[in-house]
Amino acid sequence: MNEFSNRSSGMETRAEMDAEGVKALLLINGGGAVALLALLPQVLDKQAFRPLAVAAIWALLMYVLGLVCAVVHNRLRRICSLEYKRAQGYSPDVPGPCKSRWVAWIASTEPCVCCVSIFFMWASIALFIAGVFIVFVGGYRVI
């Protein structure tokens, strides 16, 4: 096996892992949204559960925004991959790092589009965690 086939196999493995990561982001945020949609009819008309209902509506917004971030991340991930593919035709075979300071803090060695993709991935995760926390606080206020 030559060096190129090892590198190609490694890139395919990483691309597969990244695809699974996007599926996980879609699953956790989508699952959270579906669970809250199932919960809402049970708590909307009960005054005692009002804090939980309000929290569920806010958390639903967080999960939907998390889904949007996951989709944007996936699209930008593909564009990022094209940046690396384009760089393979030149020397060195790695695209130049992002020079924009407001983007490069995410991953200083990556192209700008890759940094933005990484930002949306972490935003999706953060929005899921925020939604969970919001529902927890709303549920705690009820008990």
pLDDT in tens, 24-38: 999 999 999 999 999
pLDDT tens digits for 57-110? 999 999 999 999 999 999 999 999 888 888 876 656 678 888 887 776 777 788
Is the model more confident about 8 or about 142? 142
Q: In this predicted structure, which of 4-8, 14-18, 22-26 has the lowest mean pLDDT?
A: 4-8
What pLDDT, on the 0 to 100 scale, is given for residue 106? Answer: 74
Dist. CA 100–CA 112, nearest whole Å? 7
pLDDT at residue 104 in the model: 67
**Residue 56 pLDDT:** 97
Instruction: Tell me which DSSP letter residue 98 carries.
Output: P
Match 């983007």 to its residue by tokens: 103
What one-character DSSP code corresponds to residue 106? Answer: S
- Total Cβ atoms within 10 A of residue 42: 12
CA atoms within 13 A on the CB side of 115: 18
Give me the pLDDT at residue 1, please: 47
Of 20, 19, 52, 57, nearest in space to 37 by CA: 57
- Give me the residue spans of the domains in the chain: 3-142
Going by C-alpha positions, the residue among 93, 95, 115 that lies closest to residue 105 is 115
**118-136 pLDDT, tens per residue?**
999 999 999 999 999 999 9
CA distance 26 to 44: 26
The residue type found at 60 is: L
Task: Please give the pLDDT value at position 85.
Answer: 82
Between 15 and 5, the higher pLDDT residue: 15
